[in-house]
Amino acid sequence: MNRKSIVITLFTLTSPLFASEPGHASLGSSLPVWSVIPFIGILLSIAFLPLFKPRFWHRHFPKVSLFWAAILAIPLIAAFGAPAWTELKHVILIDFLPFIILLWALFTVSGGICLEGSLTGTPLLNTILLAAGTAIASWTGTTGASMLMIRPVLRANANRKSKAHLVIFFIFLVSNIGGVLTPLGDPPLFLGFLHHVPFFWTLGLFPEMAFVTGILLTIFFIWDTRLWRKEKMDIPADAEQPGPEPRAALRLSGSHNFILLAGVVAAVLVSGFWHLAQVNVAGVRIPLQNLIRDGLLLLIVLLSWMTTSRDIRTRNDFTWGPIREVAILFAGIFVTIIPAVAILKAGEQGALAGLIRAVRTPAHYFWASGLLSSFLDNAPTYLTFFNTAIGRFAPGLPEPLAVGRLISENAVYLKAISIGAVFMGANTYIGNAPNFMVRSIAEENGVRMPSFFGYMGYSLVVLIPVFILASWIFF
């Protein structure tokens, strides 16, 4: 069967799923619940194909992403015409491109900063490194902080036997929980910022972050101390002790990239307060300040690449592979999520009215957004429940007014969604984009990381009890 035949077959099989009903003006109120099948399909593919068909996935993941996007987009446009086409362009231009441009900027700039020298991975130093990475993640992004910190952490522990737990707690804290304080920190919050959540609103999530981070750092210190002492005891008393290795002074290369990181922060911050006219791009109205922001971020990428020596990036083992994979997979995710978002925006007028009615309390939103973020990637999950809350508390209002009402009258719900999506992205390898990147770098450096379900064992034992306690206290 050739490609044309495949497309025709997919169209024939899926078109009935998107058949519109007369009298419905809203795309969200017309779409059936079955229209979310491509979204579920791509996320299940991301979860399981790397486990059971790793060679196929490595070679063909762009085709898998394209398959699920096509199986959604083609029949959707055929069934709904202009409204569906407009929605598709809106998702690409308003959501996906700004999202991936920000990730690309943070990934490129942080990849040009290299910290080298003699660090000894004691429990105290490791705890300090994790705390430092957690602290900067909200300002450099979880992607930026992960790429900046993981290699120094691995170098400091090069002589340790037990390192998998270190990388796992690194993913918990630096790649996820640390990014909750600003829209720069984690992709879900940046999507919220793009949808009119004020930039500094997320700073109000500090008590929840401090509570969870404090518990996890304490657990890690005790865990790492026990393993460190065990490694010391396992060395025979009569074993020949190696002489002290020459210590190299700490050296930071590519430090000018910190200025460029500040430029990323400034570009995003200014775009949130600088209100200019809207311009028409392919039929979509885009605020001019957003285009200026994205242009500045692309300029920063270019400046970082041109001004950072290739030697620094080589020592950092920098490649474009991780960001390429994220861009391709998220393109498919953002396309296939269109029905879910549209249905949820319709509130109780949509096909998921039962879900809207079932998720009632802040704790419900925390666990619903969090548990789905564990498996469905936290950026689209945040967007889904963000629109669920708007559909419940401000149905029919323009988005800027709806978000303002949600924050002024029911802010605890947005807090629950934000914290659930960001924190519980740490529950699995697929919960957040940096999780995959950190695992890959650790394995390249000889760390034997647990499998998909092995990692979940750590999150079930460590994270879930902490989240239960946080839910009881805050929600």
Higher pLDDT, 430 or 213: 213
In a domain, 465, yes or no: yes
Q: Which of 128, 285, 145, 151 is nearest to 221 (CA)?
A: 128
Predicted confidence band of residue 418 (pLDDT cuts 50, 70, 90) = very high
Q: Are residues 171 and 220 in contact, defined by beta-carbon separation less than 8 angstroms?
A: no
The residue type of 237 is A
Q: Which of 121, 135, 171 is nearest to 452 (CA)?
A: 171
Residues 6+ apart with CB under 8 A from 438: 146, 150, 167, 170, 171, 175
Q: Which of 102, 108, 186, 170 is nearest to 133 (CA)?
A: 170
**Which residue matches tokens 């925390």?**
366
Q: What is the total count of domains within the chain?
A: 1
> Distance from CA of residue 8 to its chain's centroid?
34
The residue type of 436 is F
Q: Which of 276, 324, 268, 262 is nearest to 294 (CA)?
A: 268
The residue type of 310 is R
In a domain, 347, yes or no: yes
CA 178 – CA 181 distance, rounded (Å): 7
What are 303's two structure tokens? 């400046």
Higher pLDDT, 426 or 380: 426
Q: Which of 88, 77, 71 is nearest to 34 (CA)?
A: 71
Predicted confidence band of residue 82 (pLDDT cuts 50, 70, 90) = confident
CA 159 – CA 399 distance, rounded (Å): 53
Q: What is the DSSP letter of 214?
A: H
> Which residues constitute the domain of residue 207?
30-231+252-474
Whether 200 shows a pLDDT value over 80: the answer reads yes
Q: Give the pLDDT confidence score for residue 77 in this predicted structure.
A: 82
The residue type of 231 is E
- 214-240: average pLDDT: 80
CA 418 – CA 193 distance, rounded (Å): 11
Instruction: Name the range with the highest mean pLDDT among 74-78, 88-92, 175-179, 450-454.
Output: 175-179
CA 376 – CA 369 distance, rounded (Å): 10
Whether 25 shows a pLDDT value over 50: the answer reads no
Whether 194 shows a pLDDT value over 90: the answer reads no
CA 315 – CA 112 distance, rounded (Å): 10
- 394-422: average pLDDT: 87
- Residue 281 CA: distances (Å) to CA of 30, 91, 291: 27, 13, 10
In a domain, 144, yes or no: yes
At residue 74, φ and ψ (nearest 5 deg) are: -65, -55
Whether 386 shows a pLDDT value over 80: the answer reads yes
CA 192 – CA 184 distance, rounded (Å): 11
In a domain, 5, yes or no: no
Mean pLDDT of the chain: 81
Q: How far apart are the first and last CA of the chain?
A: 54
- 438-451: average pLDDT: 80
In a domain, 82, yes or no: yes
Predicted confidence band of residue 15 (pLDDT cuts 50, 70, 90) = very low
In a domain, 11, yes or no: no
In a domain, 183, yes or no: yes
Whether 257 shows a pLDDT value over 80: the answer reads yes
Predicted confidence band of residue 352 (pLDDT cuts 50, 70, 90) = low
Higher pLDDT, 313 or 391: 313
Residues 6+ apart with CB under 8 A from 108: 301, 304, 305, 323
pTM equals 0.76
> Distance from CA of residue 139 to its chain's centroid?
14
CA 80 – CA 433 distance, rounded (Å): 32
> Distance from CA of residue 189 to its chain's centroid?
9
Q: What is the DSSP letter of 403?
A: H
Q: Are residues 156 and 202 in contact, defined by beta-carbon separation less than 8 angstroms?
A: no
CA 121 – CA 118 distance, rounded (Å): 10
Higher pLDDT, 322 or 93: 93
Q: Are residues 144 and 297 in contact, defined by beta-carbon separation less than 8 angstroms?
A: no
Q: Give the pLDDT confidence score for residue 248 in this predicted structure.
A: 58
CA 209 – CA 47 distance, rounded (Å): 27
In a domain, 6, yes or no: no
As beta bridge partners, residue 110 has none
